[in-house]
Amino acid sequence: MPELPEVETLCRQLVQTITGQTLLEILTLDSKLPDFPDLIGCQVLHVNRRGKNILLSFDDGQVLAVHLRMTGRLLWQKEVTEVPQYTRLIMTFPTGRVFFIDPRRFMTIQEHSLSPCHGGGVDPLLDLTPKYLAARGRTRKGSIKTFLLDQSVIAGIGNIYACEILHQAGIDPARPTHRISDAQWLRIVASADKVLNKAVACHGTTVSDWRDFHGNEGTFQHELCVYSRAGLPCPRCGKTVLRCVIGGRGTYFCPGCQI
DNA sequence: CGAACGACCTGTTCGC
DNA sequence: TGCGAACAGGTCGTTC
């Protein structure tokens, strides 16, 4: 679930909540996840986002890369409470606990120096340019939608925002990447900027179970134009939004204004 | 290098 | 109502 806006929201909230705090205890509850005994007693120096990864930097130089995949969540609790269902790991700090929650157990937590964040694509909030995308997309024959999801090209866009960005840009998600014109690359960059920044401001999209660090829903689901709206009218042109499958992923688009 | 597809997991929703 | 199939925000490995 968590794409760039959701991960960015969590990172900002983590910065506010745990930077400068000393890790008192780690409890791993899922055998798929490692133990981190060396981190006990270390202080959190920074929290950063890289694509959809959350990087936790500690004062001894260790960096943890947390990836939430489909259903991962982080939840902060100041008071001692019951452990939420599907909690896979717990970090205890002086002022509260961080619960790492994930029903599907896809979440990964790795020592960053051992396995540097996969991908390497540019951050769409920082470095995205039409020129870069045109150069990377020139030889790609697959759909533009699959291209936008390639984390080695752009780090952070997922299925919801790929659909929304292409709607905003007025481009058919099935269009072969090498057929995208310069004018369309320009629109894609402008649309990515607009959609992602708005979604960050909204604290993400809660379509089923996304919650932020404090358990609150995002509000960008009220701004969606096509995602999960099959059968409903396009807010721009009124045509009925359709669903198809591209690259194995459910894809929503408006046949009236995406060409 | 790139495209297609199954695998990884579990819960929820849909269709008959 | 019951039950199996389909589907879900994301990568990763294999094969062609």
- What is the CA A6 to C1' B16 distance in angstroms? 38
Largest CA distance in chain A: 58
Residue nearest to nucleotide B9 (CA to C1'): A104
Is residue A163 within 8 Å of residue A188, measured between CB atoms?
Answer: no
- The answer to whether some atom of strand B lies closer than 7 Å to the beta carbon of A138 is no
Nucleotide nearest to A6 (CA to C1'): C9
The average pLDDT across A53-72 equals 96
d(CA A52, CA A168): 22
Active site residues of A: 2-3, 52, 249
pLDDT, tens digit, for every residue of A208-242? 889 999 999 999 999 999 999 999 999 999 999 99
Nearest CA among A252, A251, A250 for reference residue A241: A252
pTM, to two decimals: 0.96
Nucleotide nearest to A247 (CA to C1'): B4
Q: Could you tell me where the DSSP H helices lie in chain A?
A: 4-18, 130-137, 144-148, 159-169, 182-201
Would you state the pLDDT for residue A11?
98
- What is the CA A230 to C1' B15 distance in angstroms? 18
Would you state the pLDDT for residue A16?
98
Would you state the pLDDT for residue A116?
57
A48 has a pLDDT exceeding 70 = yes
pLDDT, tens digit, for every residue of A108-155? 999 987 655 657 899 999 999 999 999 999 999 999 999 999 999 999
Question: Which residue(s) pair with A190 in the sheet?
Answer: none
Is residue A22 within 8 Å of residue A93, measured between CB atoms?
Answer: yes
- What is the CA A69 to C1' C15 distance in angstroms? 25
Question: Which residue(s) pair with A143 in the sheet?
Answer: A176
Footprint of strand C on the protein (CB under 7 A): A 1-3, 51-52, 67, 69-71, 104, 106, 118-119, 149, 151, 158-160, 205-210, 249-250
Q: Which residue has the tokens 């894809």?
A: A251
Would you state the pLDDT for residue A14?
98
pLDDT band for position A250 (50/70/90)?
Answer: very high
